[in-house]
Amino acid sequence: MEIMAKILSIFLAFLTLADYSEGLSRRKIYTLYSAKKTWNEAKAICESKQSQLLKIKSAKHYEEISYLDRMEWGNRVMNEFASSSGMWSPLHKPFWNTTWTYQDCEPYSLTVPGTSVKKCSTYQPNSIISSAPCDEEHIFICERFEGDCWFQPFYEMTTKWFEAATSVPINDPNIKAEDCALECRNLYDINTGTECWGFTFYPAVPLCTLHVNNTPTASSDYLYPENRDYGELKSTFYVRRCFEGVIDTNMYDSFYDKNAEPDTSCTETPYVFNNTVYDVCYCPVQEQPPIPEPATSEEKAKQFIKKLTIGTSSTSAAERKLTSAEDNRPSVIGMGYVGILVLTAVFGSLVLLDLNVIFARIKDFCSSSTSVQTIG
């Protein structure tokens, strides 16, 4: 079992390395930690949760965080910015030079403003990066990948919302909403970065229309369908949800590293997300699916082993001991009839040979019963 667990762990690690890219969107979990920590503490807490410090590399990432902060986090991030504070960035200087790298050791080619003695950095409004002493305390966000995107339904929607986007109709008389979800999940242009961010399904036709867009902020822009027009056709619009937000208010007092230098050397294998990708999640309900707790590769391997383990009483060999295999060949059926005739003849002849004895016993029994009644 231990060998199998190690093999599965290696396989899961391979999936993690193979599936991660900056292209096709996957379900990302952002966790906001409201307790202020030093850079080393924040980095250690993220890694303990199978994640890493938030990496903002595009307008898409910034818009997702802005949406969560505005809609779910009560503007905690913007309030920190307003108080002239910042939020920890994964960029730091792991060596005694001017090279800046992310927490996962990816190099950073741009200039980080600030003095050369500051080895860590913070995010400021509009995702501007500024250098900061590592022993300062700031809030921080950890991010990790967990599974695939899901589709949130909004009813009675029209495609008017997507006039500026490209619509791709799928004419299939047997198509279902879950089929549309798979088509949307697989529609991605690696050259242009164009993705499908939703689809409209007309069950009465049936008709599926995919809505694609290469706008960097499409993932967060498409989360406001309630402000759009309703249509005449009975339809449902499914928007693709590829990021979720969580708030962690724990203090994590066990993490205590006030070192002014970043606790990292960037000489080991880059840290990667726990981003094993599963089948597309098609949810025909409005509620958001639960956000899973982060799991290590070893824990996922144990879960796979548990699912693959079959009880001894459920095996086919055990079941065959209690049942007879059916054989409908004519020759076998004929042999069965012959066997029945032979057994009938054998037992029938035995009965015939003892027939006179049986009749005599019955006659004696009847005579004795008559005599008893006469006496009475």
Question: In this structure, are 124 and 255 located in the same domain?
Answer: yes
Q: How far apart are CA 121 and CA 112, in angstroms?
A: 8
Q: How far apart are CA 321 and CA 317, in angstroms?
A: 7
Domain contains 362:
no
Q: How far apart are CA 11 and CA 300, in angstroms?
A: 11
Q: How much is the pTM?
A: 0.70
pLDDT of residue 191: 82
Domain contains 10:
no
Domain contains 357:
no
CA-based R_g, the chain, Å: 36
Question: In this structure, are 97 and 122 located in the same domain?
Answer: yes
Task: Give, in order, the Cα–Cα distances in Å from 59 to each of 56, 127, 214.
Answer: 8, 9, 12
Q: Is the bond leading into 206 cis (omega within 30 degrees of zero)?
A: yes
Q: How far apart are CA 123 and CA 137, in angstroms?
A: 13
Contact 86, 123 (CB under 8 A): yes
Residue with the larger pLDDT of the pair 228 and 197: 197
Span 10-49, pLDDT tens digits: 333 333 333 334 567 888 999 999 999 999 999 999 999 9
Stated as kind and residue range, the H or E segment containing 339 is helix 330-353
Question: In this structure, are 165 and 272 located in the same domain?
Answer: no
Question: In this structure, are 174 and 75 located in the same domain?
Answer: no
Strands 150-155 and 281-282: parallel
CA 305 to chain CA centroid, nearest Å: 18
Question: In this structure, are 46 and 133 located in the same domain?
Answer: yes
Dig out the tokens for 75 from the structure.
């503007």
Domain contains 8:
no
Question: In this structure, are 92 and 62 located in the same domain?
Answer: yes
CATH (domain of 109): 3.10.100.10
Q: How far apart are CA 107 and CA 121, in angstroms?
A: 14
Give how many domains the chain has, as a whole number.
2
Domain contains 308:
no
> Residue 219's domain spans which residues?
150-241
Question: In this structure, are 42 and 174 located in the same domain?
Answer: no
Span 83-120, pLDDT tens digits: 878 999 999 988 766 688 998 888 888 888 877 788 99
Question: In this structure, are 61 and 125 located in the same domain?
Answer: yes
Domain contains 111:
yes
Question: In this structure, are 126 and 65 located in the same domain?
Answer: yes
Domain finish residue from 241, 266, 296:
241
pLDDT of residue 73: 95
Domain contains 319:
no
Question: In this structure, are 217 and 265 located in the same domain?
Answer: no
Contact 222, 240 (CB under 8 A): yes
The size of the chain, in residues, is 376
pLDDT of residue 156: 59
CATH (domain of 196): 3.50.4.10
Q: How far apart are CA 284 and CA 254, in angstroms?
A: 42
Question: In this structure, are 130 and 257 located in the same domain?
Answer: yes
Span 46-87, pLDDT tens digits: 999 989 999 998 888 899 999 999 999 999 999 998 887 899
Domain finish residue from 231, 259, 286:
286
Q: How far apart are CA 58 and CA 127, in angstroms?
A: 9
Question: In this structure, are 138 and 46 located in the same domain?
Answer: yes
* DSSP string for 108-126: E-S---S-TT--EEEEEGG
Domain contains 101:
yes
